[in-house]
């Protein structure tokens, strides 16, 4: 029987020939994924991989989850798309549903199609509401690839510095390898204070990820966002909470900002809201929403298929109690990673995050970089049937952000293999001590 797939080498060659040369590299030998089922994906040869990456926090409810895809298909067959000039029910139901889970008085949703577009809308909204142009953002944050969202992105690898001319001031992130989280938070708050004293009256908003994803799973000290919010309010600056990677249960709360006891002014959502179908939104209060008086429509934003899918996603998250599951099993995974850190203290310098938003930072030496060791681990884990991620300023943080449906057995299995793979990496590290 002839395989319907051309195979990974052929796919890689086509990518090289027809995509832009800058197309991101992640694996040395990326697998070709042809099928997914809940926490598993399969390559063209039928090899199974347990997914601990979920396409960067996207398929939180599992690949091709039948409870969700059934409703997507039903909607596709009923009504796929129509203009926003007509009334349709799925998007108003979705907005109502979001209002029930959003914190504080956040009530109104504007639907778009991607995380970048949600943040773009949130940033514009903040400008229109405050009548100010400037933004504050954190070093090592990531907010998107449009001009404005790239301008507030601190991570160097996601910026094209030369062409960004927006009015953005970056402040220190609330993390420093040599300081406690409390000390690092205090330093970040100090740098925020200095910026606000200097030009607070020209700043529309500060945009943050409550737990930085691509920046390396940076979870600030518990008091951090309360102090930030208090300061911002003194200067009339809005807080935009980018929950694109952290939202809808992954961290053990519906939104990660809830861990900090703060209600932001605007929340942006994307990724797992559609479990793989593009749907995104930015939500705010009645008062702030009134300031966005134009432009007011997005062709695909809140289309019936995306909206019906997001409703199915929110139902599934609620019915399966996925936030509770992420808190419990994520705690289990974190303890396992901490045990590995105790076994390989020279290799793993830090384990951090909460729920299923976890990172393990690796250390290198003068002869072998931490980024190289991270790539070794990623590649070997993949060969042995586990997909994990990597992130961080130096690309040396192993990222664990699985579909929230992974089981305790999946976690045990992954940790056992990871132990083997880290042993190899730590042997490479100790053998690589440079000659005197
Ligand atoms: N914000 C965060 C926190 C993200 O992680 C990302 C994507 N990695 C984005 C925004 C941009 O989202 P999108 O790729 O859907 O435009």
Q: How many CB atoms lie within 10 A of CB 286?
A: 10
| Cα(118) to centroid(ligand 1), Å | 9
Site to substitute for ligand 1 among 60, 116, 279, most atoms within 8 A of C-beta: 116
In a shared domain, residues 176 and 306: yes
Q: What is the CATH number of the domain that holds 21?
A: 3.90.1150.10
Give me the pLDDT at residue 436, please: 61
Q: What is the CATH number of the domain that holds 92?
A: 3.40.640.10
What is the token pair recorded at 26? 């992640």
Give me the pLDDT at residue 314, please: 98
| Cα(278) to centroid(ligand 1), Å | 12
In a shared domain, residues 248 and 373: no
Give me the pLDDT at residue 359, please: 98
- pTM for the whole structure: 0.97
| Cα(378) to centroid(ligand 1), Å | 22
| Cα(83) to centroid(ligand 1), Å | 26
In a shared domain, residues 170 and 40: no
What is the block-wise mean pLDDT of the chain (436 residues), using blocks of 10 residues? 88 93 86 97 97 96 98 98 93 98 98 98 98 98 97 95 90 97 98 98 98 98 98 98 98 98 98 98 98 89 97 98 98 98 98 98 96 98 98 97 98 98 97 75
Q: Are 360 and 391 contacting, i.e. CB atoms less than 8 angstroms apart?
A: no
- Residue 217 DSSP symbol: -
In a shared domain, residues 36 and 146: no
Selection from 188, 194, 187, 200 nearest residue 232 by Cα: 200
| Cα(145) to centroid(ligand 1), Å | 8
In a shared domain, residues 377 and 289: no
Question: Is 265 part of any domain?
Answer: yes
In a shared domain, residues 300 and 314: yes
Give me the pLDDT at residue 216, please: 98
| Tally of domains in the chain | 2
Q: Are 27 and 378 contacting, i.e. CB atoms less than 8 angstroms apart?
A: yes
Question: Is 3 part of any domain?
Answer: no
| Cα(436) to centroid(ligand 1), Å | 45
Nearest atom in ligand 1 to the alpha carbon of residue 141 is 3
Q: Domain boundary at 319, 353, 369, which?
A: 319
Does the predicted interface ipTM exceed a cut of 0.95? yes
Site to substitute for ligand 1 among 54, 115, 208, most atoms within 8 A of C-beta: 115
Nearest atom in ligand 1 to the alpha carbon of residue 119 is 10
Q: Are 241 and 125 contacting, i.e. CB atoms less than 8 angstroms apart?
A: no
Contact residues of ligand 1, CB 6 A cut-off: 56, 114-116, 119, 142-145, 209, 213-214, 242, 244-245, 270
Question: Is 233 part of any domain?
Answer: yes
In a shared domain, residues 121 and 208: yes
Domain range for 402? 8-61+321-431
Give me the pLDDT at residue 204, please: 98
In a shared domain, residues 157 and 196: yes
In a shared domain, residues 100 and 53: no
Give me the pLDDT at residue 297, please: 84
3-class state of residue 37 by DSSP: strand
C-alpha to C-alpha distance for 369 and 274, rounded to whole angstroms: 37
In a shared domain, residues 251 and 350: no
Q: Domain boundary at 296, 319, 342, which?
A: 319
Question: Is 436 part of any domain?
Answer: no
| Cα(157) to centroid(ligand 1), Å | 14
C-alpha to C-alpha distance for 262 and 227, rounded to whole angstroms: 10
Selection from 197, 123, 187, 181 nearest residue 353 by Cα: 181
Question: Is 181 part of any domain?
Answer: yes
Nearest atom in ligand 1 to the alpha carbon of residue 246 is 3
Nearest atom in ligand 1 to the alpha carbon of residue 149 is 10
Question: Is 1 part of any domain?
Answer: no
Question: Is 338 part of any domain?
Answer: yes
In a shared domain, residues 21 and 52: yes
Q: Domain boundary at 270, 304, 319, which?
A: 319
Question: Is 184 part of any domain?
Answer: yes
pLDDT one-digit tens code per residue, 239-259: 999 999 999 999 999 999 999
- Residue 397 DSSP symbol: E
Selection from 364, 355, 371 nearest residue 406 by Cα: 355
In a shared domain, residues 242 and 134: yes
C-alpha to C-alpha distance for 279 and 2, rounded to whole angstroms: 36
| Cα(214) to centroid(ligand 1), Å | 9
């Amino acid at each position: 029987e002839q395989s319907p797939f051309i195979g990974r080498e052929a796919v890689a060659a086509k990518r090289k020939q027809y995509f832009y040369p800058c197309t991101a590299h992640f694996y040395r030998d990326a697998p070709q994924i042809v099928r997914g089922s809940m926490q598993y994906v399969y390559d063209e040869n039928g090899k199974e991989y347990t997914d601990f990456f979920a396409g960067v926090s996207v398929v939180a409810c599992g690949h091709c989850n039948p409870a969700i895809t059934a409703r997507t298909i039903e909607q596709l067959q009923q009504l796929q798309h129509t203009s926003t000039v007509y009334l349709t029910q799925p998007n108003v139901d979705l907005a109502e549903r979001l209002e029930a889970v959003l914190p504080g008085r956040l009530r109104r949703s504007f639907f778009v199609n991607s995380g970048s577009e949600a943040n773009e809308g949130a940033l514009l909204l903040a400008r229109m509401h405050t009548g100010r142009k400037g933004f504050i953002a954190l070093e090592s944050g990531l907010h998107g690839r449009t001009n404005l969202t790239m301008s507030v992105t601190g991570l160097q690898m996601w910026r094209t510095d030369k062409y960004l001319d927006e009015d953005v001031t970056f402040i220190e992130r609330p993390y420093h390898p040599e300081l406690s989280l409390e000390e690092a938070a205090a330093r970040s708050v100090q740098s925020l204070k200095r910026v606000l004293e200097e030009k607070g009256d020209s700043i529309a908003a500060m945009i943050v990820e409550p737990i930085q994803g691509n920046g390396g799973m940076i979870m600030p000290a518990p008091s951090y966002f309360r102090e930030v919010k208090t300061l911002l309010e003194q200067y009339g600056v809005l807080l935009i909470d980018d929950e694109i990677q952290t939202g809808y249960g992954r961290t053990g709360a519906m939104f990660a900002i809830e861990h900090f006891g703060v209600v932001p002014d605007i929340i942006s959502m994307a990724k797992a809201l559609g479990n793989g179908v593009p749907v995104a939104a930015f939500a705010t209060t009645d008062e702030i929403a009134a300031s966005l008086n134009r432009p007011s429509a997005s062709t695909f934003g809140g289309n019936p298929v995306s909206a019906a899918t997001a409703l199915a996603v929110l139902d599934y998250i609620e019915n399966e109690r996925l936030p509770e599951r992420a808190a419990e099993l994520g705690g289990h995974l974190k303890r396992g990673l901490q045990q590995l850190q105790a076994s390989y203290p020279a290799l793993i310098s830090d384990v951090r995050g909460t729920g299923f938003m976890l990172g393990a930072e690796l250390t290198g030496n003068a002869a072998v970089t931490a980024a190289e060791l991270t790539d070794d681990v990623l590649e070997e884990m993949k060969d042995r049937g586990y997909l994990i991620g990597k992130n961080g300023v130096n690309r040396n943080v192993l990222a664990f952000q699985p579909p929230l449906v992974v089981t305790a057995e999946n976690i045990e299995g992954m940790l056992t293999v990871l132990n083997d793979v880290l042993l190899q990496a730590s042997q490479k590290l100790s053998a690589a001590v440079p000659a005197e």
